[in-house]
Amino acid sequence: MKDIARAAQKLGVTVVTCFLGSPIWAYWYSFPQTTREMVDAGFRRIKELWTPIFDVYDQCGVKLALEVHPTEIAFDYYSTQRLLDELEWRPTLGLNFDPSHLVWQGVNPAIFLRDFAERIYHVHMKDVKVTLDGRAGILGSHIDFGDTLRGWNFVSLGHGDVDFDGIIRELNQMGYDGPLSVEWEDSGMERAFGATEAFEFTKKINFSPSVVSFDAALKVD
């Protein structure tokens, strides 16, 4: 990871997306009973392991963008907040925003963006469709991705439940001007068709903010 920072510096890359891992993900359900001390120790371990890496990124002028993702130390709203608190909101570490992993967990992506606006360093465009029909559960039932029996599936952009219009508006409001990176995962669609469609969808939805109020013409000087 340190070498990646050095390589990024040579290439003129200012943000690297990543995972941090988690020593406590296996305890997410808290049974057998997970003590507060175990959770605290897990966050301390992440800080211990990654602080020397963060130091190199600072030396190279490169930031890290953690994707908030199940199996990671930060996988939802409150675990993200806890991680940033644990690291004292060190500017080196920000977030790779991926709405798909938030939606299937029941987290509102627009609220997440608004509350962590200053730490959004990169954005993934990725969609998910949730179909909890009374049989399927949110944990996936060990059913392969793409199977319509699952309670949720990653789908091509525009085919799921992610409100991309709302996301673009939040990004515009916070002044985000970084890339919108299509992450395409749809096991139920032919990939060349899906990739082409996703690219066109992203171009269409990526509107700029207005520079005037809609009723500005009505104002009297």
What is the per-residue pLDDT across 165-185, written as a single tens digit (0 to 9) for each?
999 999 999 999 999 999 999
CA atoms within 13 A on the CB side of 191: 6
Is the pLDDT score of 196 beyond 80?
yes
pLDDT at 217: 65
Verify that 6 and 89 share a domain, yes or no. yes
Summarize pLDDT for 42-94 with one digit per residue, the tens: 999 999 999 999 999 999 999 999 999 999 999 999 999 999 999 999 999 99
The DSSP result for 152-166, as a single string, is: EEEE-TTSSS--HHH
In a domain, 203, yes or no: yes
Binned at pLDDT 50, 70 and 90, residue 213 comes out as confident
Range of the domain at 6: 1-97
Pick the residue with more confidence: 205 or 211?
205
Summarize pLDDT for 11-51 with one digit per residue, the tens: 999 999 999 999 999 999 999 999 999 999 999 999 999 99
- How many Cβ atoms sit within 10 Å of the Cβ of residue 72? 21
Is the pLDDT score of 107 beyond 90?
yes
In a domain, 215, yes or no: no
Residue finishing a domain among 80, 97, 114: 97
Q: What is the pTM of this model?
A: 0.94
| Number of domains within the chain | 2
pLDDT at 220: 67
Q: What is the DSSP letter of 210?
A: P
Q: What are phi and psi of 217, to 5 degrees?
A: -65, -20
CB 186 within 8 Å of CB 159: yes
The DSSP result for 25-93, as a single string, is: GGGTT-TTTPPHHHHHHHHHHHHHHHHHHHHHHHHHT-EEEEE--TTSS--SHHHHHHHHHHTTT-TTE
Is the pLDDT score of 214 beyond 80?
no
Residue type, 137: G
Instruction: Provide the CA 188 distance to its chain's centre, in angstroms.
Output: 23
pLDDT at 173: 97
In a domain, 48, yes or no: yes
Summarize pLDDT for 116-167 with one digit per residue, the tens: 999 999 999 999 999 999 999 999 999 999 999 999 999 999 999 999 999 9
Strand partners, 96: 67, 122
In a domain, 108, yes or no: no
Binned at pLDDT 50, 70 and 90, residue 221 comes out as low
In a domain, 221, yes or no: no
Verify that 65 and 145 share a domain, yes or no. no
Verify that 6 and 81 share a domain, yes or no. yes
Is the pLDDT score of 211 beyond 90?
no
- Between the CA of residue 119 and those of 18, 114, 127, 176, 218, what are the distances in Å? 14, 10, 21, 10, 37
